[in-house]
Amino acid sequence: MLDATTIKGRIVSAALKLAADRPWASISLMEIADTAGLTLAEIRARFDGKPAILRGFVRAIDAALLAQARKPAADSSARDALFEVVMARFDLLMPYKAALRSIMKDAEPDLAMLGAALSSQQWMLSAAGIDSSGPRGSVRTLGLASVYASVFRTWLDDDDPGMARTMAALDRQLRSGERSIQAVEGACDTVSSIGKRLGELFAGSPLGRKPEKRSPAADFNPSAGDSG
C-alpha cells in the first residue's frame, strides 16, 4: 500500500526497510536517503525528520484502509463493524511488523504523532459507520485509541498467521470499552440535561429576564409638577 512510484512512498518504504533489520534509533536520515536513492534535500522537501516519516506511514495506512472500506451491513452491530475495521488495519500492517517492533522500542515521544494516531481512530470509527463528531465523538475516539493501543501491543507479539490472540484481545477490549464509553456518554447526557434545565430555570427567573427598555418619555409625569 506504500506507493513506491512517489518520492514520499520511496522515503517511507526505505525507512521501514531499514527498521526491519536494525534498531530505529540507529538509522540516520542519510541512510534513508541512500536506500531510497534520493538526496537529503529531497527528503527535507517532504519530511522534516524521522518522526514525520512515521506520520507519513500512518497516513498511508489510513488511506489504504479507507480505500477498501465499505458501508457496514445493516444487521451488523457497531462493535462487530469496528472489529472488522481494526482487523483490516492489522492486515495492512502485517508486512511491516518487524519494522514496527523496532520502531516501538526506540521511537521518541512525539505529540504530532499522537495527533496523527487520534486522527486514525476517528477515521476508523467513520469506516465502521460510527459518528466521531462532537463531544460524544471525542469520547469514542479516545476510547478506541485506548483499545487500539492495547491490542496493538498484543498484535506485535502475535506470530500466529491467523492472529488468534489479536482477535481475542480485540473482542475483549471492545466489549470492555463499549461498556466504559456508554457509561461516560450517559454521564455526559446527564450533565448536558442538567445544564439545559438550569438554563431554562435561569431564563425564567427575574435575574434571567432582561429589563424592559423604556423611553425617556415614559418617566415623565405631567401631573407630578413642582409642588413649591
The helix (H) or strand (E) run that includes residue 18 is helix 7-21
What distance in Å separates the CA atoms of residue 99 and residue 114, rounded to the nearest whole number? 19
Return the minimum-mean-pLDDT range out of 57-66, 79-88, 94-103, 210-219. 210-219
Summarize pLDDT for 103-144 with one digit per residue, the tens.
Answer: 999 877 778 889 999 999 999 999 999 999 998 899 999 999
Do 23 and 106 meet the contact criterion of CB atoms below 8 Å apart?
yes
Do 84 and 128 meet the contact criterion of CB atoms below 8 Å apart?
yes
**Domain map (residue ranges) of the chain:** 7-204
User: 163: phi > 0 → left, psi -120 to 50 → alpha, else beta; which?
Assistant: left
User: Residue 65 — φ and ψ, nearest 5°?
Assistant: -65, -45
Summarize pLDDT for 39-81 with one digit per residue, the tens.
Answer: 999 999 999 999 999 999 999 999 999 999 999 988 889 999 9
pTM (predicted TM-score): 0.78
**Which fold would CATH assign to domain 7-204?**
Tetracycline Repressor; domain 2 (1.10.357)
